[in-house]
Chain A
């Protein structure tokens, strides 16, 4: 039973435009969320996080939005660059889980010139 869902397996966006990646979750106990980026033949690398006490967190070109009532979070990348072409995973965890995250299936982003 997948508790974290990324319903768009792929996304194509032009360089310079905004990329919006979506993630939905079903477990109301989740209150800590992360986004990871993964290039082929490499392990995922941490991108940005948000806890449930916030509804937005920014880090440079990356912004994560959290809507707890809708159990939905999104990652915005502005502006998109060719190096952003990768698979993006969202992950969620309750506070007391001691690091046991549930991951979504990932969204493949392709940034075209």
Chain B
């Protein structure tokens, strides 16, 4: 099992460019998440999808959109990149339920916006 995979691993964008970060999981998890990690800030939730067909905003959703393509795949889109979106982006997945379950993370995408 590959677990959670993310592509690309690294990306450099110019301000105003768009791109989509891809995430896939093979653990048959219902829930998927996108986080960003900035120095001194820990991980902050951008968007999440509790189950296939649903998406909801997290703590820092502005400037991002998501698509839950199917149960396995959850993509994050930056429509018009800004330098403030320079960060490391992590995708995660988990079981779904009222009691929180531990999340399994991908290796991350390091994004630089110039």
Contacts and interface: CB of A to CB of B under 8 A. Distances in A.
Given A44-B90, A105-B41, A99 B101 contact: yes
Contacts of A34: 100, 102
B51 to A, nearest CB: 9
Interface string A15-48: 0000000000000000010101000011111100
Contacts of B44: 103
A101 B103 contact: yes
Contacts of B48: 99-100
Contacts of B101: 99
A102 B100 CA distance: 12
Contacts, number: 69
Interface in B81-106: 90, 92, 94, 96-106
A98 B42 contact: no
B13 interface: no
Interface stretch (A57-65, A75-83, A88-96): A88-96
A71 to B, nearest CB: 17
B31 interface: yes
A45 B3 CA distance: 11
Given A45-B105, A98-B97, A99-B31, 15 more contacts: A36-B105, A41-B107, A41-B108, A43-B106, A44-B105, A89-B42, A91-B43, A93-B100, A95-B99, A98-B50, A98-B98, A99-B96, A100-B48, A101-B100, A103-B43
